[in-house]
Structure 1
Amino acid sequence: MTGALLRGKKGLVIGIANEHSIAYGCAHVFREMGATLALTYLNSDSYPYVKPLAERLDAPLLLACDFRIPGQLEAVFEKIKNTWGELDFVLHSVAYAPREDLHARVTDCSKEGFSTAMDLSCHSFIRIAKQSEPLMKKGGCLLAVSFYGAEKVVKHYNLMGPVKAALESTVRYLAIELASQNIRVHALSPGPIKTRAASGLDRFDELMEMVKKRVPNHKLVTIEEVGSLAAFLVSDAAKSLTGNIEYIDGGYHTLG
């Protein structure tokens, strides 16, 4: 799919780990639609995987961004400010919980693990909104990535269920608070996709097979399909939409 839906727009994509990442699928469509992109990588270990993708996407900015390192997110936005002076959209596709807490019952998760998961998976989106606001002078769009486990109990999703529920609530509050600046806020809620982050979930392969059997078309969503929805939402064609949890799961969320 190619076109000019996002021609002239500048976007920041946070959360690419490799070519299988949801963030990369979105970035790929953003670029095909004409956007100019800034990308981030987590650390020196991830850099060799992200750099070739940045080159493939003709991204002029590739910046380090680890939410755990004080000042690093702010440095990303400072670089964008000095280079572009403005920003049209941001995709936040980051989620993390310590493995021992992620694999435990919510009842048994530690205070430290809960705090870490909430900080890196949810509060980081609030930090992004705060940094984005002064750069979105003509309005813009902020996207987070959620999952159906925020709404209903999904086996083995555990701690990430409450964390994603908080993220979805945050999306709604930010949407209202930033509406006067014409900044729109949404959460994408894809069906299960085999990404590096998802591989940390216990029995994730079983979840994918179960969803594939239940959805009417018996297919799992792809990162490119998520990207197509994301591109529409950040475009001017969606300027009347905000505060939504946008499902892209083949209808799975409608099934009882």
Structure 2
Amino acid sequence: MRVAVCQLNSREDRAHNLTVARDLLERAAAGGAKFAVLPEYVDFLGRSADAPKPESADGEFAEFFASAARELGLWVHAGSFHETGPDPARTYNTSLIFTPDGSRAAIYRKIHLYDVEIAGRVSYQESRTVAPGGQTVVADVDGVPTGLSICYDLRFPELYRQLAIAGAKILVVPAAFMLHTGRDHWEVLLRARAIENQCYVLAAGQIGDHEPGRTCFGRSMIVDPWGTVVSQAPDTVGVTFADLDLDRLDKIRTEVPSLANRRL
């Protein structure tokens, strides 16, 4: 399976963000990808006060990417967007996957919320405006079981082990990882999740500055089940490709049977 991870710099202009996302999906399709992954909050990154009105999982955002998938004949993971939440104060941070005929194949709501206070450096409380999801999701993407996660989920290995136990061979991580943590932790954590679960990891990140005064790390990448980074994006908006060798995945799981040997 040929796959693509798309790296964006989403800002306050939702229409522009979606236009760029569509262009990257077109480039992914032209490059032969069967499955393309966009980053977290492809619809909007900016001040909470300026955020667009949240919408349902079958609203305009979903229709936009369903149409793109259908017109391009592509499996599309639409990163994540601001879905209508359980109450007026909070949205869900939600991923959608669409099949090449435009139908929705899966929905996942981010489980782990980024609540961090580092004096003088970071003050971010995602839970103030976002409600957590409560279900793990493994989707069928072109016949390959694919486990879903979003950004901060990456720090919780138990989530990925559940996905692997449920049959996942691909793990998807759309993200907006911050620069100060990304430079030390992003690649290490992605490779760890790939090695310990013997899965391919597709990580699509936001890149560059956005309000209010934050910078995303980027470095979108594809990691194989041995933990090798097989493809990595440069520090710019664009599309990065790799060919997944599922026979190699099966061979790794046979020769180093750590999943089969687990006792807990």
TM-score, scaled relative to structure 1: 0.39
Greater share of strand: 2
TM-score, scaled relative to structure 2: 0.38
